[in-house]
Amino acid sequence: MFSYIHPDNYSSQLEHKKQHIADLFAEFNLPEFEIFTSEPLHYRQRAEFRLWHQDDDLYYIMFDSKTKQKFRVDKFPVASKLINQAMKALREAIINKPVLRHRLFQVDFLSTLSGELLISLLYHKQLDEQWQQQATDLQQHLKSTLNVNTVGIIGRARKQKIILDNDYVFENLKVANKIFTYQQVENSFTQPNAKVNEKMLFWAQQVTADLGGDLIELYCGNGNFSIALAQNFDRVLGTEISKTSVHSAQTNITKNNLTNVDIVRMSSEDFSQAMNGERKFRRLEGFDLTTYNYDTVLVDPPRAGLDPDSTELVSRFNNIVYISCNPHTLEENLKTLVKTHKIEKFALFDQFPYTDHIECGVYLTKR
């Protein structure tokens, strides 16, 4: 099923993406855009699999995106080497252990470049003390077998979550010879291709290197960009609606010894109202928004792109850094933004090789 995922195919699939972007954005007369490649194999730090039980056998399955037919997965070449090793070690460890195997229907893996691993086991049954004891033994077995110091295990069932050690890992990303540390929590969004994420952060650092002033980031997540860009600005204020991501972002501020970054939990719509003085929010107590220099904004919205109100808010800034995971909604947003701004730089980040998915970066300045 994965014959198309091969280093020999990488260049041609990337050329196809480059042409697609050139065609899609032809009306904008883009500057020559930069292309940031991925490792051709073992580039994903996250993977999710269903479990299939057949008599005495147990194996991972995935579903064909076109036919919806299931197929067996013993190796997953796009996932990190650590995840591939863990897939095999986990299956062999639980296949003859009824307590761990019974009614297990899904396994999620989260790994890091720094060698940490988190495994979530999802069940259609309630988990008891016997399960917890065997899961603890499993955890120690995997640490030894995989030769890693950190293997977290989480057991999930209906209205139940059992955490052995932690429900997060710490990733170390190298950007321009500097290491940034990020907490990544189970079930929270993080960039899956860590090496390409390093390139995205480097690109964003370069385009904002001489801007100075303050940075406002909408949809900041766990502070992925805020942390790495703090060195280019006097102050950084990030907004994020997810409580878990906000907590991680605040942890990451501390882990990276930053004193000029603040994260507040609010939507871009609420922030727009606060910035306009239309409403007061308890979450902004202690922040005087009138003192911020609103020259530069960074947005990394979901696939739906920016809604009209957020687009209007973003268009007020002199400098816009737009990170997009959907070129089609990006194209729609740019139709509005180019009325007030000029596209200075454009980048393609190959986060998901061998798929139609394309990640883009755009830097715009006020006309």
Which sequence positions are flagged as catalytic? Answer: 325, 359
3-state secondary structure (DSSP) of residue 323: strand
Residue 6 CB neighbours (<10 A): 12
Exposure pattern of 34-50 as b/e (b: 16+ CB <10 Å)? eebebbbbbbbbbbebb
User: Which one-letter DSSP state was computed for residue 28?
Assistant: G
- Is residue 25 within 8 A of residue 4, CB to CB? The reply is no
Q: State the DSSP H helix or E strand holding residue 6, giving kind and residue range, or none if neither.
A: none
Q: Where are the beta strands (DSSP E) in 112-228?
A: 117-123, 151-157, 160-164, 168-175, 178-185, 214-218
- Is residue 230 within 8 A of residue 258, CB to CB? The reply is yes
Task: Report the length, in residues, of the chain.
Answer: 367
Q: State the DSSP H helix or E strand holding residue 345, giving kind and residue range, or none if neither.
A: strand 341-349
- Where helices occur in 47-193 by DSSP H, the ranges are 81-94, 98-101, 129-146
- Is residue 145 within 8 A of residue 114, CB to CB? The reply is no
In sequence order, the 6+-apart residues with CB closer than 8 A to the CB of 267 are 239, 241
User: Which one-letter DSSP state was computed for residue 278?
Assistant: S
Alpha-carbon Rg for the chain, nearest whole angstrom, is 22
Residue 254 CB neighbours (<10 A): 10
Exposure pattern of 238-253 as b/e (b: 16+ CB <10 Å)? bbbebebbbbbbbbbb
